[in-house]
Amino acid sequence: MCRLCKPTTPRALCPGVPAFMMAPAETASGASAAQAANPRITAAPLPELSGEPGTRILIKGGVVMSVDDAVGNFSKGDVLIEGSKIVEVGAHIEASNAHVIDASGKIVMPGFIDTHHHQFETGLRSSLADAIVVNDGRPENSKNYYETMLLNFSQHYRPEDVYINELYGGLAQLDAGVTTVMDVSQIHHSADHSDAALEGLRDAGRRGVFGYFEGWWDGKEYPGGAKRIREQYFSSDDQLLSMVMGGEIYIEGYEDAWKIGRDLDLQIALHVVTTFGMTPTFDELAKKGVFGPDNIFIHMTGMTDDAWKAAADAGAHVSLSVPIEMHMRHGEPPIQKAIDLGMSVSLSSDVECTMSADFFTQMRGLITLQRMRANERALSGDENFPSLMKSYDAIRHATIEGAKGLRLDRKTGSLTPGKEADIILLDAEAINVAPLNNAPGAVVTLMDRTNVDTVMVAGKIRKWQGKLLGHDLDKLRRELEQSRDYIFEKAGVDRDLFS
C-alpha cells in the first residue's frame, strides 16, 4: 500500500508496489497461501524483510556469474537465499514461499571486495588529486600525501569527524557494489577515535574489516589498544565486522604491533612501498623468516626478488591499488610478479583524496596495465611474454581473491551455497552496456557505478533499484561538509576549488 491508494485498494493493484516485490503466489486479493502459512514472512514486501531468519528470496532469470568453478555460470539462472545465506544456485529453481526478484536484464554476481581503503579521508576527496605520495623536493610536489594528509589534515580529526567520514565512505562504496572493505584507518589518536571508526564502519551496514593502524596523539592507544578492541567488538565470529592489525615497518616499535596482532590471532597488514625507503627493512624481515600466511602486503613496489620469494613462500597476500600506484609514484604495480609467483592478489582503492574508490576503475586499471606490459613484450619479439589477463580474471581479483586475502572466503566472495548472500545485480540493459554479448567483459570493460542496481549484504537489501536504503544522504552529506570545513580550517589550508 502506498500514500496514493485507498485502504481498500488491493496490494497487487497498488502503483507503488512493483510486481516483482510481491511473493510469487500473491494475487489481486492481496492474500496468498504462503502469507497464510507464515504471515510475518510474507506480509511485507521486499526489501523490508530481507536478511531476516526465515525470509526466502529467489533472484530469478538473471545472468548468473558465480565466481565458483564448482557452481558454474548461467546465461539464465536463479539464486535462492534464505535469511542471510545462499541456499541454491542453478538454471531453474522452484521455491515456494519465496519473494521473487525479477533479474532479467541483470548480471547477478558476488559483491566486490576492497582490501585497502582509507575511509577516514572521504571528506577530503580530490583534495590531493595531483599529489604524489612523498615530497621529492620539487616545488610542484610540496603538497604531497605524506606531509599534507598524514602530518597535517589527519592530526585535526575529532572522533565525530572519524565517524562521519567512515560512514559516508562506506555507504558510497556500498552504492557502487563494494560489499566488503578492509578499512585502513590511520586515525587512532585515542580510544574515542578507534570507537568512532568502528561505529561508522558498523553503521554503514556492509561487511567490514577493521584495520587497526597507527595514530598520532597520546601514544597510548596504538598498538596496545588492540586487546581492548578485540575483546569489546570482536568476541564473536558471527558478525559482519572482523579485525586486522596494522604493522607498518616505518613506525618505530612495529615489532610490538606484530607480536600483539599474532598473540590475538589477527592478520598483520602493512604498506610496502619503495618510496618510503622500506626495501632494506623489508629485506631484513624476509631474511629473518617472520613472514607468514597472516601477512597482507599492500602495494609491494620496489622489493627485491629475495623478499618477493620469501613473501610467496610464506603464503602472504598482496593487495594492489593499481590506479593509485601509477598516479602517486608508489612504483609500478607488480601485477605480473605476483601472478608469476602464484600469489593471491586482490584489489584495493586506497585513498579517495586522489582517486575514485569504485571497483570498475580498479578492475580496468589492473587489466589494462597487465595487458599493456604483456603486449609490449610480444611486440618486442619476446616469445615468452605472459598470457593476457582476461575480464573474468579481473573479476576474480575483485571478488574471491579479496575474500581469501581477508580470511573471509568461507563467508563471501562467490555465489556458493552455504556462503552469506553478498550479492550485486548489475544492469546489463543500460545504454552503456546493451546489447549484452559477454558478461565478464561487460562488467570489466563497459560498466560503471551507475549500473549497480541492487546490493545485498548477508541477504539484507542495502540498495534497491538504484536507491541506497536506510540513510538520509542529504543530512549525512551536510555533516561531512561541516567536518571537511573544520579540518581545512584547523589545518590552515585554503579550500581553492581550482588549485
pLDDT in tens, 245-301: 999 999 888 999 999 999 999 999 999 999 888 899 999 999 999 999 999 999 999
- pLDDT tens, 374-393? 999 999 999 999 999 999 99
Report the relative pairing of strands 267-272 and 56-65 from DSSP bridges.
Answer: unpaired
Inter-residue contact 420 to 86 (CB < 8 Å): yes
Please tell me the predicted confidence (pLDDT) of residue 357.
98
Q: Is the peptide bond before 45 cis (omega within 30 degrees of 0)?
A: no
The pLDDT of residue 275: 84
pLDDT of residue 45: 75
pLDDT in tens, 318-376: 999 999 999 999 999 999 999 999 999 999 999 999 999 999 999 999 999 999 999 99
Q: Does the pLDDT at position 27 exceed 90?
A: no
Strand partners, 101: 59
Which pTM was predicted?
0.91
Print the SS3 string covering 289-327: CCCCCCEEEEECCCCCHHHHHHHHHHCCEEEECHHHHHH
Centroid of chain to Cα 327: 21
Q: What percent of the chain has pLDDT over 70?
A: 91
* β-strands 73-82, 106-110 pairing: unpaired
What sign results for the dihedral spanned by CA atoms 361, 367, 368, 373?
A: positive
- What domains does the chain contain, in order, with CATH numbers? 11-110+415-468 (2.30.40.10), 112-405 (3.20.20.140)
Question: Chain-centre distance of CA 50, in angstroms?
Answer: 21
Positive or negative: CA dihedral 246, 250, 251, 257: positive
